[in-house]
Amino acid sequence: MAEQGTDKSGLPAAVAKAVGPERAKIAGDAARATIGRLDRGNHWTQEPAHVFRVGNWRAAKGEVGQ
Amino acid sequence: MSEMHWLEAGEAAGLIAAKKLSPVEYAKTLLARIEKYDAGLNSFLTLRPEQTLADAQAAEDAVMRGDALGPLHGVPFALKDIIDAKGWPTTAHSRLLADNIASEDAPVTAKLRAAGGVLFGKLSTHEFALGGPSFDLPWPPARNAWGRDYSPGGSSSGAGAAVASGFVPIALGSDTGGSVRNPASMNGLLGMKPTYGRVSRRGVVPLSFSLDHVGPLTRTTADNALALSVIAGHDPRDPGSADDAVPNFGAAMESDIKGLKIGVIRHFYTKDMVADPEMAAAIEAAIKVLENLGAEVREIETRPLAQYTACNRVILLSEACAIHEKWLTERTEDYGALLLGRLLPGMGYSGVDYVQATRTRARYTAEFNENFNQLDAVLTVNNMEPAFLIEDFEAGEKHYPRQARTPFNVTGNPALAVPTGFSASGLPLSMQIVTGQFDEAMGYRIAAAYEAATGWTAKHPDLDKTAAM
């Protein structure tokens, strides 16, 4: 991405520049509102719902893995 | 025989196998209906009548030769335009993929064809299964068969409109935050979001890898069970696919529901959100029907709807933005305004937010599934309101968050949208039957008993009249 870092909206600077400040601000506000409602009460040992299962990514015979 | 366009898929397949229905005549009749009415409904993005008729002719030839026939032999089906069919466009209803042609059938498409199904076309969708109904895209949005001024819901909008209109008996949609069950609700249909992993997602344009489900929309429970039986099963090339045996879903419907224990999550539609009185009254009436059929129904509580919704949103939009990141900066103006507006908040979440949401998801899933130690199924509302006027932007923005479907994308449990009647204005109402992981059969069993007792699914829109609504 050409521009690194975060815009004042909270979106990546390159995305904020591409979509314009008005859309970026609305999106940033919406993101913060959702994050504010996210239940983060996870015990420190809690695993995520989808974990890496190595067997899922084993290429089949004759097939090159991606 | 019913009017040909209202035949159930299973009924049609039986008639075809018995040489009482010609697949070619059946296809011609439905294609003529599409030609007559779809200009006002916009359910199809791509039709190829010559190819469809050639496939129907091949199906007829197989019958006449006495070949072994699959369970959907000669039966029309259609695909949401995010599902690949070899040689057909897969546009996701977006300028971004306007020139995309599928190189292979998605496994679900291949399975429907192998069962004898005849592909009719690719169906309208909210852009990339998220943004819509939109009027700033190369194709217009689908409209509701029960009233063309109304939205058919989404994102599997064309699937809902086409099945309700009698264009095809089976359509496949996708469901990431409710996109099979919403159009099922708004069009008076059965719509199944199966267990996560039950149906392959390969060859389907992704919205959110860990929340995407593919499922059928049909006019009856029996057809839904039949369609799921065909498309379900392990796909070793889909990393989310479950290697779990596929039962005969139809067989479960032969049992009654006496003694089944059913929980009702009322707080979703009476406290967390307040549903339209007609929608709430319809589910209460459905509970009485199920009790009269011998089920034991009791109220249960789970987490507030807003907690599930936040978890769903953070995962969904984070994964969606990972897919769209490059296009968002390089092809920004090719997006419809609604999709752009719905997608962009995902760029404002952090990696930590995303991982927290996936950890929360694991916890909620374990917690919710404890219910099935004591219960056979859980009922709750689907949409909080019936269909909204499609050109009323504010009504649409209000409508989409007012639903109780996302909890079951989070937990991955099967959730079946079931029609519960009609509003005073003639628009369909709906509830959800949610069951234990990989127990879709139980949902079908309860839905079939309810359907037989109420007859809601025997009612169809009169497309000549609804054109004026």
Q: Which residues contact B127 (CB under 8 A, 6 or more apart)?
A: B92, B93, B94, B134, B137, B335, B336, B338, B339
Out of A1, A32, A49, the one facing B361 most closely (by C-beta) is: A49
Among residues B6, B2, B4, the alpha carbon closest in space to that of B457 is found at B6
Indicate whether this model's pTM tops 0.95: yes
- B357 and chain A: CB distance < 8 Å anywhere? yes
Note whether B314 contacts A38, CB cutoff 8 Å.
Answer: yes
Are B176 and B421 spatial neighbours (Cβ–Cβ below 8 Å)? Answer: no
- Give the pLDDT confidence score for residue A66 in this predicted structure: 45
Range of the domain at B288: 4-466
Q: Is B155 a catalytic residue?
A: yes
Could you report the per-residue pLDDT of B192-203, keeping only the tens digit for each? 999 999 999 999
Å between A8 CA and nearest CA of chain B: 11
Out of B236, B345, B363, the one facing A46 most closely (by C-beta) is: B363
Cα B191 to Cα B408: distance, rounded to the nearest angstrom:
14
Cα B440 to Cα A56: distance, rounded to the nearest angstrom:
25
Cα B438 to Cα B196: distance, rounded to the nearest angstrom:
9
> Mean pLDDT, to the nearest integer, of B153-162?
98
Per CB-CB distance under 8 Å, the chain B contacts of A17 are 329
Among residues B26, B3, B132, the alpha carbon closest in space to that of B80 is found at B132
Out of A12, A39, A42, the one facing B307 most closely (by C-beta) is: A39
Could you report the per-residue pLDDT of B307-362, keeping only the tens digit for each? 999 999 999 999 999 999 999 999 999 999 999 999 999 999 999 999 999 999 99
Note whether B363 contacts A42, CB cutoff 8 Å.
Answer: yes
- B313 and chain A: CB distance < 8 Å anywhere? yes
Note whether B347 contacts A27, CB cutoff 8 Å.
Answer: yes
- Give the pLDDT confidence score for residue A57 in this predicted structure: 84
The residues facing B407 across adjacent strands are none
Cis geometry, peptide bond prior to residue B206 (ω within 30 degrees of 0): no
| Structure tokens given for A14 | 């390159």
Q: Which residues contact A47 (CB under 8 A, 6 or more apart)?
A: B359, B362
Measured distance between the N- and C-terminal CA atoms of chain B, rounded to whole angstroms: 30
ipTM for this prediction: 0.90
Are B16 and B117 spatial neighbours (Cβ–Cβ below 8 Å)? Answer: no
Count of the separate structural domains present in chain B: 1
| Structure tokens given for B162 | 């086409």
Note whether A19 contacts B340, CB cutoff 8 Å.
Answer: yes
* Nearest-10 Cα torsion for B271, B150, B458, B290: 0
CB atoms within 10 A of CB B156: 38
Q: Which residues contact A51 (CB under 8 A, 6 or more apart)?
A: none
Cα B234 to Cα B148: distance, rounded to the nearest angstrom:
39
| Helix ranges restricted to H, A1-66 | 13-19, 21-37
Has residue A53 got a pLDDT over 90? no
Cα B77 to Cα B165: distance, rounded to the nearest angstrom:
13
Q: Pairing state of beta strands B428-434 and B415-422?
A: antiparallel
Q: Which amino acid is present at B284?
A: E
Among residues B10, B28, B119, B18, the alpha carbon closest in space to that of B72 is found at B10
Has residue A3 got a pLDDT over 80? no
- Give the pLDDT confidence score for residue A64 in this predicted structure: 57
Cα B310 to Cα B316: distance, rounded to the nearest angstrom:
10
Could you report the per-residue pLDDT of B260-303, keeping only the tens digit for each? 999 999 999 999 999 999 999 999 999 999 999 999 999 999 99
Cα A18 to Cα B168: distance, rounded to the nearest angstrom:
42
Q: Which amino acid is present at B27?
A: A
Note whether B359 contacts A49, CB cutoff 8 Å.
Answer: yes
For residue B47, with 0-12 CB atoms within 10 Å meaning exposed, 13-18 middle and 19 or more buried, which class applies? middle
Cα B254 to Cα B465: distance, rounded to the nearest angstrom:
36
Per CB-CB distance under 8 Å, the chain B contacts of A34 are 310, 313-314, 345, 349
CATH number for B115: 3.90.1300.10
Cα B406 to Cα B176: distance, rounded to the nearest angstrom:
8
Cα B198 to Cα B373: distance, rounded to the nearest angstrom:
21
Note whether B347 contacts A34, CB cutoff 8 Å.
Answer: no
Indicate the average pLDDT of chain B.
Answer: 97
Lowest-confidence region among A3-7, B4-8, B431-435:
A3-7
Out of B307, B332, B359, the one facing A42 most closely (by C-beta) is: B359
Could you report the per-residue pLDDT of B396-418, keeping only the tens digit for each? 999 999 999 999 999 999 999 99
- Give the pLDDT confidence score for residue A1 in this predicted structure: 44
* Catalytically annotated residue among B156, B179, B241, B423: B179
